[in-house]
Amino acid sequence: MEFWPSANSEVDKWKEVQLVYQSALKEIGTKLEILNDEFQHVHKYNPIEHIKSRIKTSESIVKKLKRNGYDSTIENMIEHVNDIAGIRVICSFTSDIEQIAKMIERQSDLKVIGIKDYFTNPKPNGYQSYHMLVTVPINLSDRIVDTKVEIQIRTVAMDFWASLEHKIHYKFEGETPETIERELMECARMVSELDAKMLSLNNEVRKIEEQD
């Protein structure tokens, strides 16, 4: 059963929607914590550096619906905006991204309904990240609703770049000067190089370690 609010007024419906997405973020957050603890126990290593989560503001949701030609109804929000609930998983090495994605895929009560691999195929502006769209069942008092959450997995360096890009994009409202765009691309390249170098160094250390 997909989630549809049962309240009468639009304001109450939106509150109910927020509540359910907030619950979904809590459930996924708990699951990731448990997986990280287990990984740490078995492999003596934390693949997850830290986690941030957020509910999209109603302003951003409405903007996104408009941009895509939909009316601003709560039904359209739920059906057409996939990142109302977003959780960001930050890791140290690019190799962790795959590990974390696999751990999520194996969860029996999560359903992966979409993947966008901007890690292997960065966006034209340089954006790198691995996106998974999942649904998690939320037990309300009278029904269970499958709720969509977008999970973004990226390294510390990718996350730093993405924060700056977001700030710039927001400031120029989509009309970023070309010079700034070129600089951002250059920064994205440096981020990739640094990530590659740090990973190769980490692998080298592990190889020496295993020889001992």
Smallest distance, a copy of itself to C-beta of residue 108, A: 6
Smallest distance, a copy of itself to C-beta of residue 78, A: 17
Distance CA 144, CA 142 (A): 7
23: nearest Cα among 142, 151, 152, 137: 137
SS3 content of the chain, % helix, strand, coil (to 5): 55, 20, 25
Contacting residues toward a copy of itself, per CB under 8 A: 15-16, 19, 22-23, 26-27, 29-31, 33-35, 37-39, 41-42, 50, 92, 103, 106-109, 137-142, 144, 156-157, 159-161, 163-164, 167-168, 171, 177, 179-180, 183-184, 186-187, 190-191, 193-194, 197-198, 200-202, 204-205, 208-209
Nearer to a copy of itself, 35 or 149 (CB): 35
CB 147, CB 109: distance < 8 Å: no
Distance CA 199, CA 210 (A): 16
Nearer to a copy of itself, 9 or 108 (CB): 108
Distance CA 156, CA 198 (A): 12
Smallest distance, a copy of itself to C-beta of residue 184, A: 7
Nearer to a copy of itself, 71 or 142 (CB): 142
